[in-house]
Amino acid sequence: MPSIARKNLFYDRTRFAITVIGITFSVVLIFTTIGVYLGFMQDASFIVESIPADIWVTSKNLQNFNFAWPISERKVEQIKEVKGVAETEKMIHSWGVMKLNTGGTEQVEIIGLDPEGAFGFPWTMVAGAPTDVKGGDFVIVDRSSVKRLGRLKVGDVREINDFRIKVVGLTKGLKSITTAPYVITSYDTSTLFNPYFREPVFILVRTFPGEPVAAVAERIREHVSNVDVYTRAGLSGKTRWYWTVATGMGMGFLLTAFVGFVIGMVVVSQTIYSSTVEHIREFGTLKAIGATNWTIYKIILEQAAVNAGIGFIVGLGLVLFIQKGYAALGIAMLIPVPLMIAVSVLTLAMCLSASIVSIRKVRTLDPVMVFRA
Amino acid sequence: MSDCILEARSLGKVYEEGPVKVEAVRDVSLQVSGGQSVAIMGPSGSGKTTLLSMIGCILRPSRGDVFIEGRPVRWEGEDLSRVRLNSIGFVFQTFNLFSALTALENVEVALELRGVRGSEARRRAREMLETVGLADRLNFLPRDLSGGQKQRVSIARALVNRPPLILADEPTGNLDSKTGHAIIELLRDLVVRERRSVVVVTHDTRMMDLVHRVYRLEDGVLVS
C-alpha cells in the first residue's frame, strides 16, 4: 500500500523539516517547563516526603512547610494521649544566616531533628554519619550548597546567627525550593540559633500499624487546640499548592507550557494546511475516482500523526540531553514516565487538532475541479 | 436496453451566480452501449466538461437522470463514491497524478480504493503499466515522466479496476500532436481489447475516425 500521507511528507523535505522542528521546539518547551516545575515541587516538599511520619502537627493556619511557626512543647504530651498515636518526635525548621569564609553571609534553613529519634535522618549521607551531630554544635550540609556556601567539607567551622558550628557531614539531594541551603542538626542544637524557635515547629507522629491515619489526625484535631494537623500527603500537597498558586509560579510555568503548545499547533497547522492546499488537486482526484471523504481525512490525519511521532521522539531525545545540562547546574528537571505519556498524547492531540482546518478544506472540496485545466 | 452502460435522460445544468442564471447544458440525452466508444465534441464553453461531470457522477444535474449499467444514480455522497469507484475510470487532461507517488504507486492507489492490497495490487498495477508501455518507468515519479508517459499512467489507473465505462476529458489536450496520436491509439486499442465503453470529450478531430459515434454539443445542446 503506498502511503500517500508518508510519501507526501517525505516528498517535500523542507516543509517536513520545518514541521518537525516546530513540533520539537514545542515538545522541548513543554517538557522543560513542566519538568523544571516538577523538580521545584519535589524540592518544595522533599523534607516532608522523605521523613516517614504519618502525621505532621504544626502551628495554626500554616501556609507551607518553610514558613511554619513554633508551637508549645506541651502539645507533645497532649498528642501522645490520643488513641492511635504510637510515637512522636519534635522537629524544628527555622531560618538563620551563615557567615561565609569570604566574609559575606548567606541565608540558610535549619532543620533540627534527633538523629536517633523515631524517624532518624532519612537523607543520603556522602560524608559523616547522622549521629555525628550529637554532643556539640555540629551540623550537616548538603553538597548542592556549594554555590551558596562555598565548598564545605567535614571539619570546616562557620557561624550561624553568631553561633559557631562545625560541619560533621555532607548529604546529597537535599534542596529547598527557597534556594536557601538546608543545614541539618540535632533538635537541641537547633534551638540555640533563634530565640523565637526554642520550641518545636513540627511534632511528627507515627500511628500504630493498621490504624487509619486520617482518623488519628481527626482525633488529634479534636484533642489538641490551636494546631494544624496534616497527613504527610496533606502537608506535601499544601506546600506544593502554596508555591504553585499563592506565588503565581505555577501560572508562569503553565503559561510557558501553553505557549509551547500554541507554537507547535500553529506551526503544524500552517504546514499541514499548506501541504493540503498544494495537494488539493490530488485530493480532488481521489474523490473523483471514488475515495470517500474519510479516506482523505485519514491521509491528513496520518500526516499529522507521523509529524507528531517524529517531533516527539526528537524532542524527547533533546530534552533528556538538556536534563543532564540542568543537573550539572544543580537544577532538577523531572521527566517521569507519566509525563512522557502525557506529553506524547498532548503532541498527538496538538497535531491532530491542527489538521482540522485542512479537513474542513477537504470536506468542502468539489471534485469537479479535477476537470479544470 | 440490456447492454446499455451509460444513459443520460434529459440532462440539464443551470449555474446560478446571484441573480444570473447560466444554462450550461440543456435537455441532453445519450446512450452508450457496452464496447461502444463515443466522442463528445464542441467548441470551448459549449458545456462538454459539465456534461462529462454529470455523466461521471461528479456533478449533480439540475434536471434529468443518469443511469449507469441500468441503475439510476442516486445523488448521495456514499452512493456516488461507490458508483465512481466501481463503474467509472477517469482520464484527465492534466493527468492528475499523485506527485509524491511513483507510476506504479499511482496505479496501485486505484486498486487500494477497491480493496485490492499488497502483492496482488502491485502485480496488477505492474501488468497494467506494462500494457500501456511503461514497463521501464514503474518507479519513476511523475516529475520524471514526459507528458505522454504521464497520460499513460493516468490511463493505466483508469483501466486497472476494469470499470465498464471510461470517461476521458481532453486526453490529448496537453500533449503534442505525435504524442496525442499515440495516446488516442492506445486508448482505442485498450478499449477494444478490454471491451470497455468510452466517452471522450475532445477538440481533437482525429478522434472522429476512432469512435463509433460522435455527439456535437453547442451552447449546451446536442446538435447531432
**B160 to chain A: closest CA residue:** A289
Query: CA distances (Å), B133 to each of B129, B130, B149, in order?
Result: 6, 5, 9
Q: What angle do CA B167, B143, A306 make, to 5 degrees?
A: 95
Residue A155 has pLDDT above 60, yes or no: yes
Nearest CA in chain A to B141: A11
Q: Find the closest chain B residue to A292 by CA distance.
A: B81
- Report if pTM > 0.95: no
Of residues B98, B102, B117, nearest to A1 (C-beta)? B117
Asked if residue A45 lies in contact with residue A240, where contact means CB atoms within 8 angstroms, the answer is: yes
Mean per-residue pLDDT over chain B, rounded:
89
Per-residue pLDDT at A279: 85
Q: Which pLDDT score, from 0 to 100, does residue B1 have? A: 43
Nearest to B92 among A291, A295, A370 (CB): A370
Residue A141: predicted pLDDT: 95
Nearest to B220 by CA among B7, B27, B63: B27
CB contact under 8 A, A293 and B117: no
* A331: closest CA of chain B, how far (Å): 46
The DSSP 8-state label assigned to residue A82 in this structure reads S
Query: How high is the mean pLDDT of chain A?
Result: 91
Distance of residue B136 Cα from the nearest chain A Cα, in angstroms? 19
Query: How confident is the model over A46-50, as a mean pLDDT?
Result: 93
Cell of B38: 463515443
- Quickly state the pLDDT bin for B97 (edges 50, 70, 90): very high
Predicted pLDDT at A274? 85
Say whether residue A343 is in contact with chain B using an 8 A CB cutoff.
no
Count the Cβ atoms, other than its own, within 10 Å of residue A58: 24
Q: Do B113 and A290 touch (CB under 8 A)?
A: yes
Looking at the complex, report in whole angstroms how far the Cα of residue A285 sits from the nearest Cα belonging to chain B.
6
Q: What pLDDT, on the 0 to 100 scale, is given for residue B210?
A: 78
* CA closest to B104 among chain A residues: A2
User: Touching check for A290 and chain B: CB below 8 Å?
Assistant: yes
Note whether B90 contacts A291, CB cutoff 8 Å. Answer: no
Contact A371 B77 (CB under 8 A): no
pLDDT of residue A368: 85
pLDDT in tens, A104-115: 999 999 999 999
**B122-169 confidence digits (pLDDT tens):** 999 999 999 888 899 999 999 999 988 999 999 999 989 999 999 998
- Of A8, A292, A371, Cβ closest to residue B49: A371
Q: What does the pLDDT read at residue B27?
A: 93
Instruction: Tell whether A14 lies on the interface with B, counting CB pairs under 8 A.
Output: no
User: Where do the DSSP E strands lie in B34-96?
Assistant: 37-41, 63-68, 71-72, 88-91
Cα dihedral A268, A273, A274, A276 in deg (nearest 10) = 130
* Set of chain A residues whose Cβ sits within 8 Å of the Cβ of B58: 288, 367-368, 370-371
